[in-house]
Amino acid sequence: MATTAAPTFATHTEYAVGEGWRAWLGTTDHKKIGYLYFFTALFFLMFGGAEAEMIRWQLRAPNEHFLSAETYNQIFTMHGTTMIFLVVMPMSAAFFNLLIPLQIGARDVAFPRLNAFSYWVYLLGAIFISVPIFFGAAPNGGWFGYAPLTTMPYSPGLNIDFWALGLQILGISSLAAGFNFITTIINMRAPGMNLMRMPMFTWMAFVVQFLIVLAFPVITIAVVFLVFDRFFGTNFYEIAAGADPLLWQHLFWVFGHPEVYILVLPAFGLVSEVLPTFSRKPLFGYPVMVYSGILIGVLGFGVWAHHMFAVGMGPIADTVFGVTTMLIAIPTGVKIFNWIFTMWGGSIHFTTASMFAIGLVGMFTIGGISGIMHSSPPADLQQTDTYFIVAHFHYVLFGGSLMGLFAGIYYYFPKLTGHMLDERLGQWHFWLNLVGSNLAFFPMHFSGLLGMPRRIYTYDANQGWDGFNMMSTAGAIIVGVASAILAINILISRKRGAPAGNDPWGGGTLEWSIPSPPPVYNFVHIPRVTSRYPMWDLTSPQLTADVPHTRAGDKSVEVDVAGVDAGHAGPRPGGAPAGRSPAPVVAAARIPTAEELGIPIPYTTLKPFFTALGLTVMLSGLPFAHADMPGIEYTLIFAGACTLVGSLFWWVTSPLEPEVAHSEHTH
């Protein structure tokens, strides 16, 4: 993509009212919150990556003692917990925040203050669960925290307390964000954007929000039981009282398997945005992509026990869960083929973004195939809890989620910051990542099938695992270098990257119609949508002319789009006749402020932050009960509860934004 003209776009970084730290702490702007999510998740990516490097360094050869058993167990637990809850989910949340309102043509999310609350709870929860590692008290029961190992008799330390309470805090963040985005997507789509015109990323985000609000309550209850057992002496996982450890496993995986799709569907959505843009073709089989995403989400709730084929559920349950698991392969396979056929016949432009997207298609396929291999319960008995599984889910989560998120980062960074990421560094990042991750994760298939169990901090020599582990460690180091390049690229380009302009890639969806970074109000006028790729209707109407623009649903939004030619391409706002490129318009050098436009913007407010702070402080009092410091315990709980209730009251009783004279809204 050659830039021929000097950029004429004003680059501005002012998102919210106010300046400095208070503007960040009190922001309610979805873009700014997305920005915060993005950089926090990036930080934790490096944190979790460092943990991965330590794990691999320990396992580079047999009988190594770089880490003690205890330290290793804390680090592998935190690696999983960090990557899932502090990296992939919040990085996805960064994209939800940044993109959903822009893609559906809205000015913000439905509940801007709740959105800020979600972020602050996430940040404080992340700190709560991560800091103990510096005191040697990090969670050490695995990210899956199987009872009864996590109960008081077997884990008397504070480690599991931090894990259980941290998970509760992070769950609150995800749930609040889930309600918010569901409402946003259902209720804030621009006129004409019916569900079948929604950009695929928003669609996948929509599915993910349902998974979150339906799956997180289950883990909440499972962890509530654990917390009650640990603090109040209940019997939920108390073996002597007749408790069944499988209760935890069932509850955990009823959450845990949808969680896998919570992690991967946003990446699928991003790839479904990136591939059409860089192939210059619309997404192949859009309706099927939507249905397969929904189907994956629905089936995701019916397969949880495939994590438990070795627990002895009996042949009937094994059969049922084996078969439902195989069924999930069908919609997933459909997605893979639809992506390939999006590119088929296209004009594929290789940028870092599109290469990461293509990388996802290739890598996720490998993870999908190994997934089928352990959907068969008997075969899984030779695979489960070995490195084969580690290989599988790293192909799915690294090759899937992270590669997709990387594609999203390169694709949307310009929109977020107004600056392009450096492509040369991007290429280094991509290739090192591709080579490194395959070198790290492919040999794990072998070490697993050759008998190496998971979660072991050391292994004996002469077991035939040495070479594979050495390869994995080498690969991990390469991935580490790649990640460092990503971080450097982002830090450098954030301010110094080439100016992006509205639409550096020629994207088709609404977010590319507005400046980068978007003004605080996003859209001067709420757009009216008549197709899936409104931007392409403008830039290349001759190509979109025979596109079946879905018209169903226009009536329901009670907006007159009847003036638009039904059999023809998109609207011609500038009166440009079909077939002719619209006349270029020089962009305004200065972007008008919301005030000038008369658009009400939510107040900057610290209430969500203090509510989140109160919540976290309140819960962080609990571990002191086990540290025999009741004074600190009750002080923290009391102070936290007061802060929580006070700021919540203050929040609920204060208006969101200035009253608008012409407002028609009723709420």
The residues in 358-417 that bind another protein, with binding defined as CB under 8 A, are 358, 361-362, 365-366, 369-370, 372-373, 375-382, 384-386
Exactly one of 46, 333, 488, 650 binds another protein (CB under 8 A); that residue is 333
Residue 25 in the binding site for another protein (CB under 8 A): no
Q: In the complex, what is the shortest distance from the CB of residue 591 to another protein, in angstroms, rounded to a whole number?
A: 12
**214 lies in the binding site for another protein (CB under 8 A):** yes
Those residues whose C-beta lies under 8 Å from the C-beta of residue 408, and which sit 6 or more positions away, are: 95, 267, 270, 273, 274, 353
Select the residue interacting with another protein from 27, 73, 472, 473 (CB under 8 A).
73
Q: Which is nearer to another protein, 149 or 492 (CB)?
A: 149
For 230, the token pair is: 């640990």
Q: What is the rounded CA–CA span in Å between residue 80 and residue 307? A: 16
- The answer to whether 405 and 88 are in contact (CB under 8 A) is yes
**19, exposed or middle or buried, with CB in 10 Å at 0-12, 13-18, 19+?**
exposed
Q: Which is nearer to another protein, 92 or 375 (CB)?
A: 375
Side chain identity at residue 613, one-letter code:
L
593 binds another protein (CB under 8 A): no
Among 269, 501, 517, 518, binds another protein (CB under 8 A): 501
Residue 324 per-residue DSSP state: H
Tokens standing for residue 328: 């999930």
Examine residue 284 and tell whether it contacts another protein (CB under 8 A). yes
Q: How many CA atoms lie within 13 A of 419 on its CB side?
A: 15
- Residue from 25, 131, 221, 477 touching another protein (CB under 8 A): that is 221
DSSP 398-415: IIIIIHHHHHHHHHHHHH
> Nearest approach, Cβ of 13 to another protein (angstroms)?
20
Smallest distance, Å, CB 632 to another protein?
Answer: 24
Structure tokens given for 602:
């939510």
CA–CA distance, 583 with 574 (Å, rounded to integer): 8
| Residues 504-543: x where in contact with another protein by CB under 8 A, - otherwise, as a string | x-x---x--x----------xxxxx-x---xxx-xxx--x
Query: In this chain, which of 156, 481, 546, 642 binds another protein, going by CB under 8 A?
Result: 546
**Cα separation, 422 vs 596, whole angstroms:** 35
For another protein, the binding residue among 20, 134, 233, 496 (CB under 8 A) is: 233
Separation of alpha carbons 475 and 481, rounded Å? 10
Peptide bond preceding 148: is omega within 30 degrees of 0, i.e. cis? yes
Which listed range, 89-97, 121-129, 393-401, 426-434, lies at the site for another protein (CB under 8 A)?
A: 426-434
Closest residue by Cα to residue 482 from 517, 539, 538, 439: 439
Under DSSP, is residue 500 helix (H, G, I), strand (E, B) or coil? coil
Q: Does 285 bind another protein (CB under 8 A)?
A: yes
The nearer residue to another protein, 40 or 229, going by C-beta atoms, is: 229
Judged by CB, which is closer to another protein: 481, or 652? 652
Q: Is 351 in the site for another protein (CB under 8 A)?
A: yes
452 binds another protein (CB under 8 A): yes
Stretch that binds another protein, among 89-97, 276-284, 487-495, 614-622 (CB under 8 A): 276-284
Binding another protein (rule: CB under 8 A), the pick from 93, 207, 251, 617 is 251
Task: For residue 326, state whether it binds another protein (rule: CB under 8 A).
Answer: yes
Closer residue to another protein (CB): 48 or 534? 534
Contacts of 133 (CB under 8 A, 6+ apart): 74, 75, 78
- Structural tokens at position 509: 């969806």
Which residues 82-121 are close enough to bind another protein by CB under 8 A?
Answer: 110-111
State which residue, 266 or 527, has the beta carbon closest to another protein.
527
Q: How far is the CB of 22 from another protein (least distance, A)?
A: 26
Instruction: Decide: is 589 part of the binding site for another protein (CB under 8 A).
Output: no
CB of 568 to another protein, least distance (A): 14
Number of residues that bind another protein (CB under 8 A): 201
Choose which of 46, 127, 137, 213 interacts with another protein (CB under 8 A): 213
Q: In angstroms, give the least distance from the CB of 464 to another protein.
A: 4
Query: Does residue 40 sit in helix, strand or coil?
Result: helix
Residue 40 interacts with another protein (CB under 8 A): yes or no: no
- Residue 238 burial by Cβ neighbours in a 10 Å radius (0-12, 13-18, 19+): middle
Part of the chain binding another protein (CB under 8 A), chosen from 115-123, 174-182, 481-489, 621-629: 174-182
Residue numbers annotated as active site: 79, 108, 143, 173-174, 257, 259, 261, 272, 306-307, 332, 335, 454
What is the nearest approach in angstroms of another protein to the Cβ of residue 334? 6
The C-alpha atoms of residue 397 and residue 267 are separated, in whole angstroms, by 10
- Residues counted in the chain: 667
Chosen residue from 10, 557, 629, 639 binding another protein by CB under 8 A:
557
Judged by CB under 8 A, the stretch of 21-29, 218-226, 265-273, 400-408 that binds another protein is: 218-226
Tell me if residue 578 falls in helix, strand or coil.
coil
- The rounded distance, in Å, linking the Cα atoms of 123 and 603 is 21
Which of residues 13 and 187 has its CB atom nearest to another protein in the complex? 187
Give yes or no for residue 355 binding another protein (CB under 8 A).
yes
Cis peptide, bond prior to residue 331, ω within 30 of zero = no
User: Exactly one of 25, 50, 61, 488 binds another protein (CB under 8 A); which one?
Assistant: 61
Please tell me whether residue 441 binds another protein under the rule CB under 8 A: no
C-alpha torsion sign, points 91, 92, 97, 101:
positive
What is the number of alpha carbons within 13 Å of residue 432 lying toward its C-beta?
Answer: 18
How many Å apart are CA 12 and CA 417, to the nearest integer?
9
Q: 385-406: buried (b, 16+ CB within 10 Å) or exposed (e) per residue?
A: ebbbbbbbbbbbbbbbbbbbbb
